[in-house]
Structure 1
Amino acid sequence: MEFSSHLKGPALLRLVAAILFCEIAGSLGSVVTTPAPGSWYSSLIKPFFAPPAWVFAPVWVTLFALMGIALFLVWELGIEKPDVRFAVGIFGVQFFLNVIWSFLFFGLRSPLLGLIDIIILWWLILATIVVFYRVRKGAAYLLIPYIAWVSIATVLNASIYLLNP
């Protein structure tokens, strides 16, 4: 079945639910994220390639939407199937690590704990892409911008850790 043929009635509601779940749960980290002037983050030494603070919100909103669509595409194949359930489980673990990164890095003001988390997160995103690919290729492709951004964020996190002993 084509993706467009799924977007009727309950399937459309499940798509919206998956996107809203990712957007709302993903935004929990913003409670502790304060990159504004005068904040702890603004006082850190950052590498030359650090994006301006205003870039992060639109990027994450977009990435959370793509994650929600990817989750929907896998979920639609039937959560009762072991490979789908496993894929959704891996997605859940990596998503949890994504959310807690902000609490570790910003909330605890610990670039080291953030770095440990984001390295594990990166590997779990890769695992999610692999298992999504096995279940539904299109869902895996939607996660490529996510791992690309987290790759940049990992280097940024590591740089901040090294520049701020």
Structure 2
Amino acid sequence: MTRASLFPVLIAGLIAVMVAVMGATITDIGPWYRNLAQPRWAPPDATYGVAWTVIYALTALAGVTGWLAMPRWSEREWLLGLFALNGFLNILWSLLFFRLHRPDWALVEVLGLWLSVVLLIVFVWRRSMTGAVLLVPYLLWVTFAGYLNMTIVRLNGSFS
């Protein structure tokens, strides 16, 4: 691996860890969350850590693959911007759901998060099909999480 190709790997890994740590810091699985009515099919708590670890690793790899496949700096800037938007929306969802105790607001926000993943897939696909495919598990997870979020809102009524 050359020095030029090592740089995006280190940056992608660092950013993925930063987003993961910020999201984990905001996430509070305390009494409020434990008292929410959950659907029978909700995964056990341990599943989330494993799923997010895999998703962050694949997303970082997709970012590196996309970066290396983009010949122009302007494309790379767009890629960074889309990943930054996605990271912000990812953290915002945790803030709304777990810190502000507003699954109803998080449900609206998850649509933006989902669209940001779709935008990443479409943008990366233009230069790297492999990079785009690496983002599909993230899209599937956000789709599942959005459905779980919607079900929690339906089961628990108003959050005002």
* Corresponding residue pairs, total: 157
Q: d(CA) in 2 for partners of 1:29 and 1:144?
A: 20
Map of 1:122 onto structure 2: 114
TM-score between both structures, scaled by the size of structure 2 = 0.89
- Map 1:6-155 onto structure 2 (within 5 A): 7-36=1-30, 39-77=31-69, 80-155=72-147
The one-letter amino acid of 1:145's match is: P
Distance 1:117 1:96, change over 3 A: same
CA contact (8 A) 1:63 1:146 kept: yes
Q: d(CA) in 2 for partners of 1:135 and 1:99?
A: 27
Q: d(CA) in 2 for partners of 1:88 and 1:132?
A: 11
Shift of 1:78: 5.3
Distance 1:132 1:113, change over 3 A: same
The one-letter amino acid of 2:8's match is: R
In structure 1, stretches of 5+ residues that fail to align are 1-6
Map of 1:3 onto structure 2: none
Distance 1:108 1:133, change over 3 A: same
Distance 1:72 1:83, change over 3 A: same
Shift of 1:120: 1.1
Pick from 146, 153, 156: which aligns with 1:161? 153
Shift of 1:95: 1.8
Q: d(CA) in 2 for partners of 1:27 and 1:139?
A: 23
Shift of 1:144: 0.4
| RMSD between aligned residues | 1.7
Distance 1:53 1:79, change over 3 A: farther
CA contact (8 A) 2:28 2:99 kept: no
